[in-house]
Structure 1
Amino acid sequence: MDETLQAGDATVAAEESIFARRCVVVVDAALPPGKAANAAAVIALTLGQRHPELVGPPLVDASGATHPGLIPIGIAVLSAPAEALAGLRAKAVQGGCDVVDFPVQGQQTTDYQAFIDAVAQVREEDLRYVGMALLGPRKAVGKLVGNLALLK
């Protein structure tokens, strides 16, 4: 078989698998807008690093200028009560989703080493979160976040 066709088939398969997944960011509903935006941005950056296949091809405008590719499946930014986030994380992990979580300690300092040190002092079951991204099969993610509203 022609190598070009094989590479093309792999691209089509990768695109199909992307569209079979759903990606959401869920942030603490009580966060002020600036902190909610910060949490969503930090989480999305890490999600993009972990899953570069989520970035679509570059966009070319009518002038021929090229713009960076964006995520073709979109990312809903939802909100939940702070006390629900740890449970949501546990269910998502158990359900096979990739979870990018953002512990509250991350918004308590601008020193990353201090953040690392603070998280190291807390057991997993005691961590609290300002937000998280969930990436997984569309139905599984939908079941987890179906009752959550868009961030306002």
Structure 2
Amino acid sequence: MFDTKIAFIVRNDLAHWQRMNVVAFLATGIASAAPEILGEPYVDARGHEYGSMSIQPMLVFEAGLDGLQKAHRIGLERGLTMLPYVFAMFSTGHDEANRAVFQEEDPDNLQLVGLALRGPRKAVDKAIKGLPLHP
């Protein structure tokens, strides 16, 4: 059992490719924010070396905008590591533009399409309470 928990919440009204894309971007953010979660590289029977993956499970949940905003508020209150993905990021083509459109968002009403959370297990559980796992 891990002391921390990692959860991704993706908006339930997105196209499937958008959901996958959002979770992929958020996963890179979690790895960057918590490099200690990365294990050793994988090596096959012939000695080919592959990349590292997380040593702990990551769960994917779904929610509407209100559920994402609630999880975000609780995450802020609990001091969780959070990585947001807002709708306006779909219209940009690079990281600098993503950060620019994010900064223009109303912090009290983020138009979230995805949110990654990492922190103490109980605090993350509080933020995702009542959200279903992504099918």
TM-score (norm 2): 0.88
Does 2:131 correspond to 1:131?
no
**In the alignment, which residue of structure 1 is the partner of 2:82?**
99
Unaligned runs of 5+ in 2: none
**In the alignment, which residue of structure 1 is the partner of 2:4?**
21
Q: Deviations over 1:130-151 (max 9, x none)?
A: 1011001112212322422221
Which structure's CA Rg is the greater one? 1
Distance in 2 (CA, whole Å) between partners of 1:70 and 1:30 is: 29
Alignment RMSD = 1.8
Higher helix share: 1
Distance in 1 (CA, whole Å) between partners of 2:126 and 2:109 is: 24
**Matching residue within 21, 25, 29 for 1:38:** 21
Alignment-mate amino acid for residue 101 of structure 1: P
How many angstroms does 1:117 deviate by? Answer: 3.6
TM-score (norm 1): 0.79
Unaligned runs of 5+ in 1: 1-15
